[in-house]
Amino acid sequence: MKILIIGGSGQTGSRLQQHLDGTSFDYYAPSREVLDITDSRQMLEVFDGYAPNIVINCAGYRDAELAETEPSRCFALNRDAVAELASLCNGRGATLLQISSYMVFDGHKSDAYTEKDTVNPLGVLGGSYWQGEQQIRERCPQHIILRVGWMISERKFELLRNIIAELKNPAPFDVIGNRYGNPTLADDGARVIVAIIRQIDCGATVWGTYHYGGVKPVSESELAETILHEVAEYDEVATEQLNVLAADADDESRKFPLNCKLDSTRLLHTFGIHANDWTVGLARLIKGFYV
């Protein structure tokens, strides 16, 4: 089984490589210089040279605010490049595993979103994820689309590091109390991807869309409080720094859903993959950050 990882330098892609290092799978994770998926020539060269059986696309445009100002760049990566990738996979008999997002939903539901729920992206980024997904469904039946929750890792500029930096800043830190999601360790996301690959390798043909998020879902302010509690073990931070705000649920200009919760039941029933408690991994991550 030969696995091509796209976006191998990112938080999910790098963790994925660590997980695969302990297996007998052969993988190739070219840098963006070697494989820019918006470059058709490079895509063909890599497919011709490596001939993957499965392609895991962990590359993506992710900045929701910036996407509103440069939609063409966002769609070029999250839709058009994904469409080309899907056609290539289909033509070469390879499986495509694409990482997607809760951003395809509008967040108006109160419970966690299942794969059967109607999508209605609020902004450019969510729209690009959804249109990319649709291209895959049309072009490459042999696919897994894995929508994941709020990804957390120790990598630079990511959610955790930003929150710790804010907590150390004496100025009050604004967090949203009515935005909910599933914090998901990048390492845990990589575990899930490897578990799926193992079953595909064993002949499972359960193509389709799946959700994965760490248990249990919390509000953005609860996540910040949990991080603060852990950070306080090692650093000087004060709880009163958190300034909990409520986002206006009726604001039509909002580009991100307030309910980002994902229901992972289908993944459990199909692959037997249980959702992990994100607080355990988070405590380990924060300890690693300081010690």
Ligand X SMILES: NC(=O)c1ccc[n+]([C@@H]2O[C@H](COP(=O)([O-])OP(=O)(O)OC[C@H]3O[C@@H](n4cnc5c(N)ncnc54)[C@H](OP(=O)(O)O)[C@@H]3O)[C@@H](O)[C@H]2O)c1
3-state secondary structure 184-240: EEHHHHHHHHHHHHHHHHCCCCCCEEEEECCECCEEHHHHHHHHHHHHCCCCCCCHH
Cis peptide before 216 (omega within 30 of 0): yes
Which range binds ligand X by CB under 6 A, 145-153, 211-219, 223-231, 262-270?
Answer: 145-153
Among 151, 196, 228, 273, binds ligand X (CB under 6 A): 151
Residue among 29, 106, 40 at smallest CA distance from 76: 40
Query: Cα–Cα distance between 14 and 288 in angstroms, integer?
Result: 17
Among 5, 7, 74, 183, binds ligand X (CB under 6 A): 7
Cβ 288 to ligand X shortest distance, Å: 18
Among 6, 122, 160, 163, binds ligand X (CB under 6 A): 6
Which range binds ligand X by CB under 6 A, 55-63, 67-75, 202-210, 245-253?
Answer: 55-63
Total count of residues recorded for the chain: 291
What interhelical angle do 278-290 and 186-201 show, nearest 10? 120
Q: Is 58 in the site for ligand X (CB under 6 A)?
A: yes
Which range binds ligand X by CB under 6 A, 29-37, 82-90, 200-208, 272-280?
Answer: 29-37
Cβ 31 to ligand X shortest distance, Å: 7
Query: Cα–Cα distance between 216 and 5 in angstroms, integer?
Result: 29
> Please, which residue, 14 or 237, has the CB nearer to ligand X?
14
Residue 102 contacts residue 149 (beta carbons within 8 Å): yes
Cβ 76 to ligand X shortest distance, Å: 8
Q: Which residues pair with 145 in a beta bridge?
A: 98, 209
Among 3, 54, 99, 282, binds ligand X (CB under 6 A): 99
User: Which residues of the chain form contacts with ligand X (CB under 6 A)?
Assistant: 6-7, 9-13, 32, 35-38, 58-60, 62, 77, 99, 101, 148, 150-151
